[in-house]
């Protein structure tokens, strides 16, 4: 378990954040955040006052990485690039998360190493992590400023033959999930979003198209919602393109393996982070070595899978879309 609780004994009264800094080798900011999150415990209760003196027996909850020996496909003194498997989180979402890519990142480069961008749990492919705080700031700023170029590969439902662009605005769903499990949706009130798509290969037996995806913005679920919106959802997507009941079963972890195939078309989200291009001193172009194309063997036959067309939207007044 990456998050552990350990007991410590403090002989002389010490300011709380200083004790955490010295014990866990944290910076002052890290120590203060650690205490603010309630991870310094005295007599069974969390204390959150960073300047208070502490003495005697205390407990601390902290992240202790437990890597599984996954090595970066590329690394230098500043950053690492991993091939993230589908089904693995990039960062623990609760203290009970048993494993994430952060375990590998910090097992290799220590407590100041960190992931620099988000990838959905079910998406596979390239994951960029910093080795120190200066690199983390540079790379996160590069993602925010859109100077890092990314590409993805996806297997989608149906036939696409021509390149197209989606500039549909995306809005985060804050109204609840009574009618849909979608975390985002297309709305004129949403934030600007831009994705280019290029079909690469069509498999008639699977009625599935392999497409390259080039996001120019970084909205939540951007590629997934843009493809869903043009009636070609990503195969295996448990949220976009699925019925409410099927998505609910998936999120409640009550869905059987067979139902996952029938309702969503594949046992995983068929989306793969394929390449990264950025500048860090030199210009880097890094491409995934994984054979994602052959992952089409996971796709369920079209006559056996369900495609919930009733939940799909048709793009309005956009001549760039060519639907099949």
pLDDT of res. 289: 96
The answer as to CATH 3.40.50.10320 being correct for domain 65-145 is no
Task: Note the Cα 64 to chain centre separation in Å.
Answer: 21
- Cβ atoms within 10 Å of 72's Cβ, excluding its own: 18
Query: pLDDT, tens digit, for every residue of 279-301?
Result: 999 999 999 999 999 999 999 99
Worst-scoring range by mean pLDDT, 116-130, 163-177, 190-204, 309-323? 309-323
Integer angstrom CA distances of residue 31 from 19, 59, 60, 96, 148: 9, 14, 11, 21, 31
Q: Mean pLDDT lowest for which of 72-76, 98-102, 146-150, 180-184?
A: 180-184
pLDDT (tens digit, 9 = 90+) per residue, 195-244?
999 999 999 999 999 999 999 999 999 999 999 999 999 999 999 989 99
CATH code that applies to domain 148-324: 3.30.2350.10
Site of tokens 């996954």: 70
Our answer to whether residue 157 is catalytic in this structure is: no
Residue 24: its pLDDT value, please? 87
Buried b (16+ CB within 10 A) or exposed e, 30-51: bbbebbeeebbbbeeeebeebe
Span 160-198, pLDDT tens digits: 999 999 999 999 998 877 778 999 999 999 999 999 999
d(C-alpha 106, C-alpha 48), whole Å:
26
How many CB atoms neighbour CB 308 within 10 A? 17
Structure tokens at 300: 């369920």
| Residue 244 DSSP SS3 | helix
Spatial distance between the Cα atoms of 86 and 124, rounded to a whole number of angstroms: 4
Among 132, 133, 143, 136, CA closest to 109: 132
User: CB atoms < 10 A from the CB of 153, how many?
Assistant: 22
User: Which segments of 149-294 are extended strands (E)?
Assistant: 149-157, 164-166, 170-172, 184-186, 195-203, 208-215, 271-280, 282-287
pLDDT tier at 323 (50, 70, 90 boundaries)? Answer: very low
What is the Cα–Cα distance from 90 to 227, expressed in whole angstroms?
Answer: 23
CB 105 within 8 A of CB 111: no
pLDDT of residue 203: 97
- Rounded CA separation 276/193 (Å): 19
Give yes or no for residue 11 having a pLDDT over 60: yes
Each domain of the chain, given as residue ranges in start order, spans: 3-63, 65-145, 148-324
Q: Which CATH architecture has domain 3-63?
A: Roll (3.10)
CA distance 34 to 40: 7
pTM: 0.87
Q: Write out the two tokens for 126.
A: 């390239």
Query: How do strand 271-280 and strand 124-130 relate by DSSP bridges?
Result: parallel
Task: For residues 185 and 193, give the distance between their C-alpha atoms in angstroms, rounded to a whole number.
Answer: 12
Catalytic entry in 43, 103, 111, 120: 120
């Amino acid at each position: 378990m990456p998050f552990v609780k350990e007991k410590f004994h403090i002989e002389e009264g010490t300011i709380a954040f200083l004790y955490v800094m010295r014990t866990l080798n944290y910076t002052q900011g890290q120590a203060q955040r650690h205490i603010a999150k309630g991870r310094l415990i005295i007599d069974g209760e969390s204390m959150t006052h960073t300047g208070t003196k502490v003495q005697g027996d205390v407990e601390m909850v902290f992240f202790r990485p437990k890597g599984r020996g996954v090595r970066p496909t590329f690394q230098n003194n500043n950053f690492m690039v991993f091939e993230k498997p589908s089904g693995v989180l990039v960062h623990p979402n609760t203290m009970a998360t048993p494993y994430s890519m952060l375990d590998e990142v910090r097992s290799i480069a220590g407590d100041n190493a960190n992931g620099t961008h988000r990838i959905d749990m079910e998406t596979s492919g390239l994951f960029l992590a910093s080795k120190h705080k200066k690199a983390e700031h540079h790379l996160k700023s590069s993602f925010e400023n859109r100077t890092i170029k990314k590409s993805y590969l996806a297997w989608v439902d149906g036939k696409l033959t021509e390149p197209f662009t989606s500039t549909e605005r995306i809005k985060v769903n804050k109204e609840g999930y009574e009618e849909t499990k979608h975390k985002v949706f297309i709305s004129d009130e949403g934030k600007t979003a831009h994705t280019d798509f290029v079909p690469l290969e069509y498999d008639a037996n699977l009625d599935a198209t392999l497409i390259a995806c080039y996001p120019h913005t970084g909205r939540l679920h951007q590629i997934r919602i843009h493809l869903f919106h043009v009636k070609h959802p990503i195969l295996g997507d448990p949220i976009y393109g699925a019925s409410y009941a099927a998505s609910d079963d998936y999120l409640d972890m009550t869905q059987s393996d067979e139902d996952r195939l029938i309702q969503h078309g594949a046992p995983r989200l068929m989306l793969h982070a394929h390449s990264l291009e950025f500048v860090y001193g030199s210009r880097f172009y890094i491409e995934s070595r994984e054979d994602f194309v052959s992952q089409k063997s996971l796709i369920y036959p079209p006559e056996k899978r369900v495609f919930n067309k009733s939940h799909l939207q048709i793009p309005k007044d956009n001549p760039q879309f060519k639907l099949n």
